[in-house]
């Protein structure tokens, strides 16, 4: 199977880019985050026309929102809430073959990395703790699972353009990295991108709109992830971050991460 994750930053605004991506890459499932669309406004007609007739979504007006855009049947759909908020940041389903796919949009966390001064940062930390608690209660490391999404944390030194300069910047602070690492290690999740690319190499999936020439400055961060549990590790065959899509017309500030895997 080919599975992709992409923070689309408004699915209605960028539906043409979504359809173009589906036509070019032909993923079996595309996991979107930050769809910013209520369910009755989701552009389902265009996706069905592209052959993705098993699409499910969970959205709200102007913020958040997640979706699984699939051309293969999905079963046992769940939409869970974390950290005491009723925002639309998770959706999961069982894939053909039995593996469960979880799609997350972790809160960005605002600008100040201090929960006492910034409620959004506290929400982010609580959300990641909530993810760890949920998987600890409802899942096993022996179960075939795939976790994807905009996790809004770049955990490794070379997941950011400057480790030293970003240590006190939200998305790369030690407390965020600690909590994400705890989540990853708890069930022995395998980082699919880093399975193929050494930790010593720079690897990004997001470039800010604030940079006039994102490609020249290349001040990126790897915020978008695909993890698999150990039973699926042997099926990993290829992982790609489609950097060139940052140059598409009216792009998202994120680009897709694509995984090819036997499930």
Structure tokens at 135: 């998987």
pTM over 0.95: yes
Q: How far apart are CA 52 and CA 164, in angstroms?
A: 43
The candidate with the shortest Cα–Cα distance to 7, out of 189, 263, 225, 175, is: 225
Domain positions in the chain: 2-261
Where does residue 147 rank: exposed (0-12), middle (13-18), buried (19+ CB within 10 A)? buried
| H runs (alpha helix) in 73-223 | 119-138, 174-186, 192-196, 214-217
pLDDT at 213: 95
Where does residue 199 rank: exposed (0-12), middle (13-18), buried (19+ CB within 10 A)? exposed
- Measured at the CA of 216, the angle between CA 210 and CA 218, to 5 degrees, comes to 65
pLDDT at 77: 98
The overall longest dimension of the chain from CA atoms, in Å, is 48
CATH class of 2-261: alpha beta
The DSSP H or E segment spanning 111 is none
pLDDT at 254: 98
Q: What is the residue-level pLDDT of the chain in tens, covering all 263 positions?
A: 999 999 999 999 999 999 999 999 999 999 999 999 999 999 999 999 999 999 999 999 999 999 999 999 999 999 999 999 999 999 999 999 999 999 999 999 999 999 999 999 999 999 999 999 999 999 999 999 999 999 999 999 999 999 999 999 999 999 999 999 999 999 999 999 999 999 999 999 999 999 989 999 999 999 999 999 999 999 999 999 999 999 999 999 999 999 999 98
The β-bridge relationship of strands 56-58 and 66-70 is antiparallel
Q: How far apart are CA 190 and CA 187, in angstroms?
A: 9
Length of the chain measured in residues:
263
């Amino acid at each position: 199977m080919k599975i992709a994750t992409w923070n689309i930053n408004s699915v209605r605004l960028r539906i043409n880019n979504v359809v173009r991506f589906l036509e070019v890459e032909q993923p079996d499932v595309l996991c979107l985050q930050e769809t910013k669309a209520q369910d009755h406004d989701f552009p389902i007609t265009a996706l069905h026309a592209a052959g993705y007739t098993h699409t499910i979504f969970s959205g709200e007006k102007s913020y958040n929102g997640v979706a699984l855009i699939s051309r293969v049947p999905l079963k046992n759909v769940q939409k869970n809430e974390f950290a005491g908020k009723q925002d639309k940041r998770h959706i999961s389903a069982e894939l053909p073959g039995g593996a469960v796919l979880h799609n997350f949009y972790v809160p960005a966390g605002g600008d100040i990395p201090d929960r006492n001064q910034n409620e959004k940062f506290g929400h982010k930390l609580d959300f990641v703790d909530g993810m760890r608690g949920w998987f600890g209660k409802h899942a096993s490391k022996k179960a075939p699972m795939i976790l994807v999404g905009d996790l809004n944390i770049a955990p490794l030194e070379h997941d950011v353009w400057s480790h030293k300069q970003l240590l006190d910047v939200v998305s790369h602070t030690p407390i965020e990295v600690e909590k994400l690492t705890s989540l990853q290690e708890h069930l022995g999740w395998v980082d699919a991108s880093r399975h193929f690319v050494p930790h010593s190499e720079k690897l990004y999936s997001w470039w800010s709109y604030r940079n006039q020439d994102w490609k020249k400055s290349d001040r990126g961060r790897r915020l978008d992830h695909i993890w698999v549990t150990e039973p699926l590790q042997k099926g990993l065959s290829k992982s790609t971050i489609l950097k060139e899509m940052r140059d598409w017309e009216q792009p998202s500030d994120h680009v897709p991460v694509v995984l090819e895997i036997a499930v």
